[in-house]
Amino acid sequence: MLEDTTTDAELAERELRKASIAFISMRVDTRDAFIRALTEFRPDIILSDYKLPDFNGMAALEIVQRDHPEVPVVMVTGALSDIEAVELIHAGAKDYVLKDRLARLAPAVQRALAAEQSARARQEAEKSLRESEAKFRALVESTSDWIWEINEQAVYTYASPQVYVLLGYRVEEVIGKTPFDLMQPGQAEQVKARFKAILAEKKHFWLLENAFLHKDGRIIFLETSGAPMFDAQGVFKGYHGIDRDITERKDTERERLASAERLELSLMQTIEAIAATVEARDPYTAGHQRRVAVLARAIALEMGLSDNKIRGLYLAATIHDLGKISIPVEILSKPTKLSKFEFDLVKTHSQIGYDIIKDAQFPWPIAQIVLQHHERLDGSGYPQHLKGEQMQSEAKILAVADVVEAMSSNRPYRPGLGLDAALEEVAAQRGVLYDPAAVDSCIALFREKKFDFESK
């Protein structure tokens, strides 16, 4: 309280207590004491007289505004002209109360304190927001990813500086464009259609791969994730998100795929060479393995097997009789019925074929398929007498294809029995010796889809 009259100060304090305002006060009446109290007492509010013998309220107000602008000042004075009142308010006083109307003092103090507390809270919030924005900006500008925002028309409204590193564009060159403006036309139309659906749902999206055009014409692959933005009323305002450069990863994936394709080609060439070696020793069954492979693949396609399983089955079928390379040619080409000993010798070809390739690092169970192609569902097959679920699914298909082709074709000891007889055989043993699904698909191929062994 800047007040030179003790009784006036006491009257003011009494009015505040009547309003149940709890406070601690200090009264000063000189300029030096006032300045010292501002620092040492650190008041929450100042009640100042307008006129003092050696000091005045306007000078006090100027000191407060200069050194402690956060402290509100309410003038408590005697007579005060309208002009002087306006000057005080303009100089920064929060209010003024005449001493003959002290009933107004408590409400004036409460309003001034409330306004100051609100202002301080707002300042703290603004400070916190500025600090948060500074941290966010530092994070955004230091990350290797590109941070962006787009409006509801998919137009960029913000782009972090990293866009220059990724795509060669300055921020101001990107603002106002859409993502589709930075892509090849064909790619842009595909992505636009996909993104239109995302915008319609207004949901998060993750890890979308897009091909952007660098400013110098290079293709840059970016992985995009985003989240919808809404205003305080819940109105959709667009998306903010992040783009990460995955060009190196895509290049690695392409190289891996190319390497896998080269390996698969090498494997196929090796397998075809083995198949040719086997067939060169046995002219009567020349082409048998190839025709069985074609039929087995067609059955597998009809059954809906995966592309990967079908590739493995086809390669296994191409060399399923590999073990016959160890059987004497005289037995393989014998024009009469084989003796039991000779037939038992021929039956070893499944195991021998398996033994030859079991240590080869194929990405498919080719050795097992070769080993099991003469097994039967009821366990009557060879060499392991496997039953049902013990057999590889691909081996069950190969067994059907092998029987149908073998019965249809000529053999040294008999002419071909014909396709009808072969299909009747597998149909009769459906579910007993042969897998029902494989049999049904095989019959459908020939009866309904006019399959032939020369199909490509």
Which residues of the chain does CATH 3.30.450.20 include?
A: 143-245
Distances (CA, A) of 257 to 147, 158, 278, 309: 31, 37, 31, 17
Q: What pLDDT score was predicted for residue 417?
A: 86
Distance CA 448, CA 456 (A): 17
| pLDDT of residue 104 exceeding 70 | yes
| 380: pLDDT strictly greater than 90 | yes
Residue 456 has pLDDT above 60, yes or no: no
Please state, rounded to an integer, the average pLDDT across all residues of the chain: 88
Question: Across the strands, what pairs with 222?
Answer: 210, 245
How far apart are the C-alpha atoms of 294 and 368, rounded to whole Å? 19
Which range has highest mean pLDDT (177-191, 243-257, 301-315)?
301-315
pLDDT single digits (tens) 253-301: 888 888 878 877 777 787 777 777 777 776 666 688 889 999 999 999 9
Residues of the chain with CATH 1.10.3210.10: 252-447
Q: How far is CA 443 from CA 9, 169, 422, in A?
A: 112, 62, 10
Superfamily of chain region 252-447: Hypothetical protein af1432 (1.10.3210.10)
For the domain with range 143-245, which CATH number is right: 1.10.4080.10, 3.40.50.720, 3.30.450.20, 3.30.420.130? 3.30.450.20
Q: Which CATH class is domain 6-120?
A: alpha beta
Sequence ranges of the chain with CATH classification 3.40.50.2300: 6-120
User: Taking residues 175-198, what's their average pLDDT?
Assistant: 88
Instruction: Provide the pLDDT for residue 286.
Output: 61
Report how far residue 249's alpha carbon sits from residue 360's, in angstroms, rounded to the nearest whole number. Answer: 30
Q: How confident is the model at residue 54 (pLDDT cuts 50, 70, 90)?
A: confident
Q: Of 95 and 272, which is predicted with more confidence?
A: 95
